[in-house]
């Protein structure tokens, strides 16, 4: 049964572009168009659940002491979500995505435990890159054809594809493109490098066509991180990348945006701070921000807000200090463990692990002024696992070397 793990991990990665459609299974009114029918979204959700049960069985069968350094911090984040939901204003609102967070923990543990199994890295990365290339191509073609018309009009002519919102698409490719670049540089199989070139090129195009200012600055931060860890004069190169990204945003990325959005976000951030002030300990519960926003918003502010347009304000408002503390603990433990593993890894594996981490740095910057659910619920925990798995427990060459 363990021989099926590479295929299982690859299948989950291939399904990630469909994850944003899960929003249609909730009770929340969202400002976008999902192209995936509700029945198909349920099917994807069921497949992920079955794969999680299989992965959990394999993890229990092939236990390895000390192989899951982030398990306790991950469980603390999950527990904080459950607590916030139970004590929040509508426990049902975030139940689905809290459960998806639990699946993400299983997925993370499976990647860390089985990354070095024969064929696992190649299958997993190959599925991720091919799926990403297909998702980027679909978004680009739909934008060129202006179809579906409802999505094109609602998103002001911005590339969206299956991701419901342009910012979701941007977040997905902020994580994927640095991984694709690393795969083209390390000694993996030829077809995988070809897939990486295609996925990386199409991903950059789709990201640019999303006209996401937060996404582009997040991508600039991801590139800067790669430069800082790779180049001889890394700090200087990273600064130049960030400056170039800021110039590109100012000159090109204000197109396809409603100018009033800038001022709307200021009022939403103000409302978020008021919610945090009233419910600081455990927050208002997952997906309950919009419910409280209607109560505390200023009279001249936007009538509705799905989230706080900031990952950090949204998380603080919905999960409280307990949730924020659990996330800080998780990321601290990840940084410590990654540093230890990279110090023991071969040059190729260290580069791949740091490139995976670059995507996390990028979405952390994007999260300053945006909240991207496909990253939070679909890529955050697995990407932490992918970085640790790529670095390995000890010095070792890439799979095909």
SS (H, E, C) the chain: CHHHHHHHHHHHHHHHHHHHHHHHHCCCCCCCCCCCCHHHHHHHHHHHHHHHHHHHHHHHHCCCCCCCCCHHHHHHHHHHHHHHHHHCCCCCCCHHHHHHHHHHHHHHHHHHHHCCCCCHHHHHHHHHHHHHHHHHHHHHHHHHHCCCHHHHHHCCCCCCHHHCCHHHHHHHHHHHHHHHHHHHHCCCCHHHHHHHHHHHHHHHHHHHHCCCHHHHHHHHHHHHHHHHHHCCCHHHHHHHHHHHHHHHHHHHCCCCCCCHHHHHHHHHHHHHHHHHHHCCCCCCCCCCHHHHHHHHCCCCCCCCCCCCCCHHHHHHHHHHHHHHHHHHHHHHHHHHHHHHHHHHCCHHHHHHHHHHHHHHHHHHHHCCCCCCHHHHHHHHHHHHHHHHHHHCCCCCCCCCC
Higher pLDDT, 71 or 245: 71
Q: Using 50, 70 and 90 to split pLDDT, how confident is the model at 52?
A: very high
Q: What is the pTM of this model?
A: 0.92
CA distances from 32 to 58, 148, 161, 253, 295 (A): 38, 12, 11, 20, 23
Closest by Cα among 324, 306, 285, 47 to 165 = 306
Mean pLDDT of 377-388: 93
CA distances from 35 to 17, 23, 46, 378 (A): 11, 12, 18, 18
pLDDT for the residue numbered 330: 97
Q: Using 50, 70 and 90 to split pLDDT, how confident is the model at 231?
A: low
pLDDT in tens, 339-376: 999 999 999 999 999 999 999 999 999 999 888 888 88
Q: Using 50, 70 and 90 to split pLDDT, how confident is the model at 255?
A: low
pLDDT for the residue numbered 254: 65
Q: Using 50, 70 and 90 to split pLDDT, how confident is the model at 398?
A: very low
Residue pointed to by tokens 């204000």: 254
Mean pLDDT of 163-176: 94
Please tell me the distance from the alpha carbon of residue 132 to that of residue 25, in angstroms, as a whole number: 23
Neighbours of 31 (CB within 10 A): 11
Q: Is the torsion defined by CA of 247, 248, 252, 255 positive or negative?
A: negative
Query: Is the pLDDT assigned to residue 232 strictly greater than 70?
Result: no
Please tell me the distance from the alpha carbon of residue 112 to that of residue 391, in angstroms, as a whole number: 10
Residue pointed to by tokens 């603990």: 329
Neighbours of 259 (CB within 10 A): 8
pLDDT in tens, 84-106: 999 988 888 788 888 889 999 99
Query: Between the ranges 8-12, 28-32, 150-154, where is the mean pLDDT highest?
Result: 8-12
pLDDT for the residue numbered 243: 83
Query: Do residues 363 and 44 lie in contact, with contact meaning Cβ atoms separated by under 8 Å?
Result: no
Mean pLDDT of 286-291: 87
Query: Is the pLDDT assigned to residue 208 strictly greater than 60?
Result: yes
- pLDDT over 90, % of the chain: 59
- Cβ-count burial of 387 within 10 angstroms (0-12 exposed, 13-18 middle, 19+ buried)? buried
pLDDT for the residue numbered 297: 85
Query: Is the pLDDT assigned to residue 198 strictly greater than 80?
Result: yes
pLDDT for the residue numbered 265: 80
Please tell me the distance from the alpha carbon of residue 120 to that of residue 5, in angstroms, as a whole number: 7
């Amino acid at each position: 049964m363990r021989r099926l793990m590479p295929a299982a991990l690859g299948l989950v990665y291939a399904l990630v572009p469909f994850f944003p459609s899960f929003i249609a299974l909730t009770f929340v009114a969202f400002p976008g168009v999902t192209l995936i029918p509700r029945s198909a979204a349920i099917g994807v959700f069921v497949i992920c659940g079955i794969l999680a049960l299989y992965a959990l069985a394999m993890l229990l069968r092939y236990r390895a002491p000390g192989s899951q350094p982030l398990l306790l911090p991950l469980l603390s984040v999950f527990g904080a979500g459950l607590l916030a939901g139970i004590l929040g204003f509508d426990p049902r609102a975030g139940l689905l995505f809290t459960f998806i967070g639990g699946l993400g923990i299983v997925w993370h543990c499976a990647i860390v435990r089985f990354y070095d199994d024969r064929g696992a890295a190649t299958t997993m990365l190959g599925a991720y890159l091919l799926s990403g290339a297909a998702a980027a191509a679909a978004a680009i073609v739909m934008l060129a054809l202006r179809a579906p018309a409802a999505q094109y009009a609602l998103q002001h002519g911005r590339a969206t594809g299956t991701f419901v919102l342009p910012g979701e698409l941007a977040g997905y490719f902020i994580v994927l493109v640095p991984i694709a670049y690393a795969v083209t540089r390390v000694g993996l199989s030829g077809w995988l490098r070809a897939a990486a070139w295609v996925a990386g090129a199409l991903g950059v195009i789709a990201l640019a066509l999303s006209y996401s200012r937060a996404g582009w600055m997040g991508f600039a931060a991801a590139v800067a991180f790669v430069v800082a860890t790779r180049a001889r004069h890394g700090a200087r190169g990273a600064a130049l990348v960030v400056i170039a990204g800021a110039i590109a945003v100012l000159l090109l990325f204000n197109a396809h945006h409603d100018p009033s959005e800038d001022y709307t976000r200021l009022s939403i951030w103000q409302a978020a701070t008021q919610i945090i002030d009233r419910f600081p300990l455990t927050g208002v519960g997952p997906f309950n921000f919009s419910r409280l926003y209607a109560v505390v918003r200023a009279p001249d502010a936007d009538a509705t807000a799905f989230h706080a347009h900031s990952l950090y304000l949204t998380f603080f408002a919905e999960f409280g200090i307990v949730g924020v503390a659990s996330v800080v603990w998780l990321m601290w433990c990840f940084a410590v463990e990654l540093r230890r593993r990279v110090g023991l890894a071969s040059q190729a594996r260290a580069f791949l692990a740091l490139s995976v981490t670059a995507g996390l740095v990028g979405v952390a910057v994007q999260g300053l002024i945006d909240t991207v659910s496909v990253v939070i619920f679909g890529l955050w925990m697995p990407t932490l696992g992918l970085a640790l798995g790529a670095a390995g427990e000890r010095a070792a060459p890439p799979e095909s070397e």
